[in-house]
């Protein structure tokens, strides 16, 4: 006759989710994986039906009734949270010594692995659950690798897109980014202002001190423009020493003139590059989207350019707001200056 302890040892190896009940219906031993489901609640010594709730068949209240189900499938769960569904088969022991009930998770194995942090070591080596776990782990690894690759690809795409719309010297938006934003704003209803800024005497800095000094001046000028504008405004370098600032939802002429004055004051302050004093100034022209009935991007850009031309004609280092009268005068002056 096999001793109960020997039987429990063999079952623990072959069926790590077994329940061994004695002739009185009390739990004598349980498999290591089963006990892992309730690590703080030892099961041996308790009545089987005190620990487990029989879902199907329901009308079982004694060991004798349970033993009569030998060979039939049981559907049950451990009482208390979490309510993980279990399936099992019961095998009576000879001479009324009790019974062995072998349990499994069935299709809820993935939930069980998640809820109880189980691994392949918690299952019999011949259990198909191990193969399923390996498949799940392989799928998870593949999905994680795919997610990581997608994130890297998205990051690379965003970086490439950002680079395509960024002036690499100053870190500002470039002409392409300005064109996209301006086209979007021109087709919408939100008011905005466009400020065209040109650095006066920049060429002399390049000619006298070299391109390194010129690059330094451009970078310092870019910092000043960013500091004097809001986070929602867009500052773009659109040419060698030309910049455009787009102010969303701002068309107050007095506010725009004040911003232009601060920019002019700061930009005409000497900039020191490797001991050399670089002196520039700025001429600025501004146009408002509300000055046009059927606004087109090229139209407001041209209007701001005309205002900038007027600021330069008036002596540079100043700001000029566009008006229709100004536009006519600038166009006339430009046509007269052109060779015939």
* Per-residue pLDDT reduced to its tens digit, 184-241: 999 999 999 999 999 999 999 999 999 999 999 999 999 999 999 999 999 999 999 9
Distance (Å, rounded) from C-alpha 245 to C-alpha 195?
5
pLDDT in tens, 127-167: 656 556 656 666 666 777 778 777 777 777 766 666 789 99
Candidates 244, 224, 223, 248; CA nearest to 235 is 244
Distance (Å, rounded) from C-alpha 230 to C-alpha 256?
12
Tokens of 142: 């593949």
CA 130 to the chain's CA centroid: 35
Q: Which helix (H) or strand (E) holds 195?
A: strand 192-200
Neighbour count for residue 61 (Cβ, 10 Å):
10
Quote the percentage of the chain above a pLDDT of 90.
Answer: 46
Residue 82: cis peptide before it, omega within 30 degrees of 0: yes
Gyration radius of the chain over CA positions: 41
Tokens of 244: 């455009």
Candidates 328, 329, 325; CA nearest to 313 is 329
| 241 is a catalytic site residue | yes
Distance (Å, rounded) from C-alpha 337 to C-alpha 146?
63
0.75 surpassed by pTM: no
Phi and psi at residue 84, to the nearest 5°: -80, 130
- 3-class secondary-structure state, position 248: strand
The residues facing 272 across adjacent strands are 277
pLDDT in tens, 80-98: 887 777 888 888 888 777 8
- The helix/strand count (H/E) of the chain reads as 12, 13
Residue 311: cis peptide before it, omega within 30 degrees of 0: no
Query: Residues 237, 174: contact at Cβ < 8 Å?
Result: yes
The mean of the pLDDT values for the chain is 84
Which of the given ranges, 12-21, 158-167, 221-230, 325-334, has the highest pLDDT on average?
Answer: 221-230
Tokens of 26: 């009390």
Q: For position 225, what pLDDT does the model report? A: 97
Report the DSSP pairing between strands 281-288 and 319-321.
parallel
Considering the candidates 241, 252, 265, 305, report the single residue annotated as catalytic: 241
Candidates 163, 187, 191, 188; CA nearest to 177 is 163
Strand-by-strand arrangement of the 192-200 sheet: 234-237, 242-248, 192-200, 281-288, 319-321
């Amino acid at each position: 006759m096999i001793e109960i302890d020997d039987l429990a040892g063999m079952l623990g190896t072959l069926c790590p989710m077994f329940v061994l009940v004695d002739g009185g219906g009390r739990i004598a031993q349980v498999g290591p994986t089963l006990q892992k489901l309730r690590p703080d609640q030892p099961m041996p010594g308790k009545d089987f039906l005190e620990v487990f709730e029989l879902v199907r068949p329901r009308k079982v209240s004694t060991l004798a009734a349970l033993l009569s189900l030998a060979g039939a499938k049981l559907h049950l769960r451990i009482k208390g949270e979490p309510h993980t569904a279990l399936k099992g088969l019961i095998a009576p022991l000879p001479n009324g010594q009790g019974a062995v009930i072998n349990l499994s998770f069935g299709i809820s194995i993935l939930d069980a692995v998640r809820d109880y942090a189980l691994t392949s070591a918690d299952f019999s080596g011949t259990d198909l659950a191990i193969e399923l776990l390996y498949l799940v782990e392989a799928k998870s690894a593949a999905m994680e690798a795919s997610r990581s690759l997608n994130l890297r690809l998205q990051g690379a795409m965003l970086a490439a897109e950002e680079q395509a719309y960024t002036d690499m010297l100053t870190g500002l938006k470039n002409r392409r980014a300005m064109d996209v934003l301006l086209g979007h704003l021109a087709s919408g209803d939100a008011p905005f202002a466009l400020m065209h800024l040109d650095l006066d005497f920049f060429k002399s800095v390049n000619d006298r001190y070299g391109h390194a000094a010129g690059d330094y001046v451009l970078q310092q000028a870019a910092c000043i423009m960013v500091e004097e504008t809001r986070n929602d405004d867009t500052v773009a370098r659109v040419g060698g020493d030309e910049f455009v600032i787009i102010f969303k939802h701002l068309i107050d002429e007095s506010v725009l003139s004040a911003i232009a004055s601060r920019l002019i004051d700061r930009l005409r302050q000497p900039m020191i590059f490797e001991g050399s004093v670089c002196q520039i100034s700025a001429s600025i022209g501004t146009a408002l989207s509300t000055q046009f009935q059927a606004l087109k991007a090229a139209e407001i850009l041209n209007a701001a350019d005309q205002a900038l031309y007027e600021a330069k004609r008036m002596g540079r280092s100043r700001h000029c707001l566009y008006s229709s009268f100004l536009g006519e005068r600038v166009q006339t002056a430009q046509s007269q200056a052109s060779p015939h």
